[in-house]
Chains A and B, each alone.
Chain A
């Protein structure tokens, strides 16, 4: 990747390369994600936009190994991630090289990570915020208990430290408390807790835990954290539940947050506040965010860069100001023109004709070809690939990068 060489930009902490996720169906193989690639830089907010079904959520879930297989088939590609403060890059032993994007840190392929490593990463280094916090929160546990689990799972050493507990007590106390938090404490744990030394220890851990949970909630501007901790999810409003999700996602200070339509279910007034909150916290913690949305105006407002997806591929990627003020892909142009705006005469919005193609056993060619007003013969024969049209601005369209016979042959050879 050439962009790695630019020393001034923050390092690339995550990269999706040629990701292909297919789904088996009665009618054939659905190429839901079919060669997606983009980079996420440290501390940036990257928007991922596109219409329903274009593969945004599947791409986002790939970061956390949350793609159910079956029905999904990971048909190829890599999802690379470089945790901050991870092990040293084996190629350069930490001095910075091409393989590690000059970070000196190790590069993990999240798709190949064993389950237990993934569990360590999930929540601690990469966290996810979903559209519907009601579904992501456990209805049978109080908010306090659910939040505590995150800390118990990833920060138990620090908790014991906060509570001033010696190394000998560690396992016994921590294990007992973990079971208590999961509401599966055994008869023995309850007996153990009555032993004065352990009772005190457990009490101190609980205090340390409560303090951390309260602080995490307070950071999302929840007015009364202690009351919210005692509440069950159904007792909170949608906006409040989304704040809890954000607090949970930020709890362990992750390097990357995947936010999948985090405000779609909320009213505009609440949406504005949640977005402002995500933006503020993201800047404060310097967390990178992959912000998945179908709302173009929101993405333009909160993101640094944006990748536009169409039918399982990235059509265009660049800074929000480049993509929104100078869209180069016909699909991006059509999408922006379709947004109702002041002055457009009623019944005369520019609309993209037709509908999203079915992705069952697709043939080569631009996925947008049957809706594109500028379609050319080559468009139905060859796959356009992302190519630069300006600094940090790339487009996958033959209007920008005409195919020439040689390239076409090579490409065909490569894909076979």
Chain B
């Protein structure tokens, strides 16, 4: 098979060298409201994320929808500017990455090296492949833009790329809609391969495909990786796919990394209850079919107002008193109780952990006080309540202060952000 010429940057690098490094990355989207479009808040889609990708490895990125996977991948691909934080890319200047490798500060020629070495494949290939362009133009475009080839040479390069992804010369002059979903994904992969990149970011590349087609695409990606020492950032919500494809994996929840580590380690000994819950919710063909679903309660909280402390504390089955209990937890509790919620007139906050809840009548305040001392709220929440006093129709609640949850080391290359040192099973 014909290999396009190697670019300079790849010569100096070895497998295992850090290729790309994400450091304390933030991407916040303003929430605008009213006719003046005043900014009323921020969605912290990506909130303080750090990780490395090494040459030739696959990093899996998992989490429920809305947790920031797409936003993070687009920042890494250079398609979106982060709000703050750094992305460092090894353009072949030496193996130790530093400030000079920040993609937002690279000189023009090295920035071009970054852009051509980091490519992206999207889930929705209907949207990402121009419906009015022929396959030869879609795949040939990057080669043209980077003046790699033209004329009949370009066509031959495209044919070679098509053959690498299991298509052929007969497909050159067709439009995207003339292909099946799996074939369109092959076209997207061929386009991503055109400039012989170091890293391909795959955002849910097989989520829209049937299992037999998915197997074909995963096999293709595996073969290409071996041939070309490609690194992948593989975004998916399918844990079976992550386990099959990824050397290391990252779990995100509400914009934050909650766990990262070698894939097999994480699967066998998840250190974060959220990863554990994701693993339990996905039925596997190898599981005992009579094993009940392990259910995760509640919904993902509003990302504009993420929970304090550990963001997972509103749903965590293993929650402790020191996980970040706050006044909003009372409000969330009230939302499920129609009559008390109707009676709530306002919340006067001294801080996120200390407030007066004002009701229409004293009876409601007492009713909430009772409820908060009963098993209707989690035991950990009761234990974290420092003060719970009623004065007329006001209830004052105060929760104890706690430290932020940080990622801590759990084993070789294995990190988790949880108050619990280990998860007993």
Q: Which residues of A contact B (CB under 8 A)?
A: 51-52, 223-224, 226-227, 237, 239-240, 267-273, 275-276, 294, 296-298, 300-301, 320-321, 324, 334-336, 338-342, 344, 346-352, 355-356
Q: Which 5 A-B pairs have CB atoms at the shortest separation, nearest pair first?
A: A347-B222, A340-B244, A351-B215, A338-B215, A51-B210
Which of B240, B278, B289 has most A Cβ within 10 Å? B289
Q: Are A351 and B245 in contact (CB under 8 A)?
A: no
Which residues of A sit under 8 angstroms from B278, Cβ to Cβ? 268-269
Tell me whether B240 and A340 are in contact (CB under 8 A): yes
Contact across chains for A297 and B65 when beta carbons are under 8 A apart: no
B13 on the A face (CB < 8 A): no
Residue ID in chain A nearest B208 by CB atoms:
A52
**In the complex the two chains form, what is the Cα distance from A300 to B295 in whole Å?**
18
In Å, the complex CA distance between A320 and B341 comes to 46
Cβ of A268 and Cβ of B282 under 8 Å apart? Answer: yes
* Chain B 268-304 interface mask (CB, 8 Å, partner A; 1/0): 0000000001100111111101001111100100000
- Are A338 and B240 in contact (CB-based, < 8 A)? no
Beyond contacts A51-B213, A272-B283, A301-B289: 10 other A-B pairs, Cβ-Cβ < 8 A, are A223-B335, A224-B336, A224-B337, A297-B240, A340-B214, A340-B240, A341-B285, A346-B222, A348-B219, A355-B180
Nearest residue (CB) in B for A49 is B211
Contacts of A349 in B (CB 8 A): 215, 218-219, 244
The docked-state distance in angstroms from the alpha carbon of A336 to that of B296 is 27
Given contacts A268-B278, A324-B285, contact A342 B243 (CB under 8 A): yes
B212 contacts the other chain (Cβ, under 8 Å)? yes
Q: Is B169 positioned at the interface, with any CB of A under 8 Å from its CB?
A: no
Q: Are B277 and A223 in contact (CB under 8 A)?
A: no
Question: In the complex, are the beta carbons of B215 and A350 less than 8 A apart?
Answer: yes
What number of residue pairs across chains A and B have CB atoms under 8 A from each other?
A: 133
B237 close to chain A: CB less than 8 A: yes
Smallest distance from the beta carbon of B61 to chain A beta carbons, Å? 15
What is the chain B residue whose CB lies nearest that of A276? B293
12 contacts between A and B (CB under 8 A): A223-B336, A224-B336, A269-B64, A269-B278, A296-B285, A339-B215, A341-B286, A347-B218, A347-B222, A347-B223, A347-B226, A349-B215
Q: Does the CB pair B245–A346 fall under 8 Å?
A: yes
B residues near A346, Cβ cutoff 8 Å = 58, 218, 222, 225, 244-245
Determine the chain B residues whose CB is within 8 A of the CB of A273 once the complex forms: 293, 295-296
Of chain A, the residue at the smallest CB distance from B268 is: A342
Q: Which B residues are CB-close (under 8 A) to A237?
A: 299
Asked if B355 lies at the interface with its beta carbon under 8 angstroms from chain A, I say: no
B128 at the interface (CB under 8 A from A): no
Contact A338 B338 (CB under 8 A): no
Residues from chain A with a CB closer than 8 A to the CB of B222 are: 346-348
Q: Which residues from B are CB-within-8-Å of A226?
A: 338
Q: Interface digits, B51-89 against A, CB 8 Å rule (1 contact, 0 not)? A: 000000010000011000000000000000000000000
Residue of A nearest to B218 (CB): A349
Instruction: Name the contact of B240 in the complex, choosing from A294, A324, A339 (C-beta under 8 A).
Output: A339
B216 on the A face (CB < 8 A) = yes
B267: interface (CB < 8 Å): yes
Instruction: Provide the B194-214 mask, 1 if CB < 8 A to any CB of A, else 0.
Output: 000000000000000011111
Contact indicator B277/A297 (Cβ below 8 Å)? no
**Do A268 and B281 contact each other (CB < 8 Å), given the known contacts A276-B295, A294-B210?**
yes
* Chain A residue, CB-CB nearest to B214: A338
Closest chain B CB from A9 CB (angstroms) = 21
User: With a CB–CB cut-off of 8 A, which chain A residues contact B285?
Assistant: 296-297, 300, 324, 336, 339, 341
Residues of A within 8 A of B180 (CB): 355-356
Given A272-B295, A301-B283, verify A51-B336 contact (CB < 8 Å).
Answer: no
A269 CB contact (under 8 Å) in B214, B241, B245, B281: B281
Q: How far is the CB of A229 from chain B (nearest CB, A)?
A: 10
Contact indicator B284/A341 (Cβ below 8 Å)? yes
Cβ of A414 to closest chain B Cβ, rounded Å = 32
Nearest-neighbor residue (CB-CB) of A271 within chain B:
B281
| Residue B239 lies at the interface, judged by CB distance under 8 Å to chain A | yes
B261 close to A (CB within 8 Å): no
- Contact A272 B212, beta carbon cutoff 8 Å: no
Q: How many angstroms between the C-alpha atoms of A350 and B211 in the bound complex? A: 11
The residue in chain A whose Cβ has the minimal distance to the Cβ of B223 is A347
Contact B211 A339 (CB under 8 A): yes
A269-B296, A339-B240 known; A347-B219 Cβ under 8 A: yes
User: Which chain A positions have C-beta within 8 A of B338?
Assistant: 224, 226-227
A-chain residues with CB within 8 Å of residue B287 when the two chains form the complex:
297, 301
